[in-house]
Amino acid sequence: MNKIALAFAAVAATLVVPAAAPANLPVGARAPQIVTQGALAGKPFAFNLEQALTKGPVVLYFYPKAFTSGCTLEAKAFADAHDQFRAAGATVIGMSADDLPSLQRFSTEACAGKFAVAIATPQTIAAYDVVMKRPDGSATGLATRTSFVIGKDRKIRFVHSNADYRDHVRLTLQAVKALRR
């Protein structure tokens, strides 16, 4: 491999390899308010966390990028479990730094129109402490794969941060059901 190809490979690796998992907001912390734009079944809508909490707990899950393999599989898993979340009284909302047109497509193709996805601004990503970082510690502009269950009182009741999408649905559903007890 020539020097240019090696240099390119080294730069590319720093863009896709996240650093260690962030601290995240802890259980018991007050969830920062979110007011943003998003999409549900391909249609734009305004999301307001405080308003959503008037209906019951909110599962707020951050994911790095729409249409990547893990994020698509996670969205499909949340869509498959939508009726169980609804029966438990919870609203699910996915959050990423994607633009609105991407989220509109993702909300229909990956989420099957079952739940909303919304824009996580840099301020929201920082407030929830889900900043994905490169090995050198610099921010990528993306969110880590982190799920929060937020109670009606706006307190964080559960946090799960793991790049592997597979346990997010199961664990957040357990946490939501535990709130009902």
Q: What is the mean pLDDT of the chain?
A: 89
Tell me if 92 sits within 8 A of 85, measured CB to CB: yes
Of the chain, the end-to-end C-alpha distance in Å amounts to 60
Active-site residue flag, 71? yes
pLDDT of residue 105: 98
**Cα 168 from chain centroid (whole Å):** 10
Per-residue model confidence as pLDDT tens digits over 101-130: 999 999 999 999 999 999 999 999 999 999
- Do β-strands 43-48 and 139-143 pair in parallel, antiparallel, or remain unpaired? unpaired
Beginning with the edge strand found earlier in the chain, give each strand of the sheet holding 35-40 in spatial order.
43-48, 35-40, 116-119, 91-96, 58-62, 146-150, 156-161
What are the structural domains, with CATH classification, of the chain? 36-180 (3.40.30.10)
Query: Looking at 49, 59, 71, 131, which residue is catalytic?
Result: 71
Lowest mean per-residue pLDDT among 2-11, 111-120, 131-140, 150-159: 2-11
Residue 12 has a pLDDT of: 36
Residue 150 contacts residue 53 (beta carbons within 8 Å): yes
Over the range 56-83, which residues count as b (16 or more CB within 10 Å of their CB) and which as e? bbbbbbbbbbbeeeebbebbbebbebbe
The label of the residue with tokens 């998992």 reads 21
Tell me the per-residue pLDDT of 44-75, one tens digit each, with 9 for 90 and over: 999 999 999 999 999 999 999 999 999 999 99
CB burial readout 19-35, b (16+ within 10 A) else e:
beebebbeeebebeebe
pLDDT band at 2 (very low <50, low <70, confident <90, very high): very low
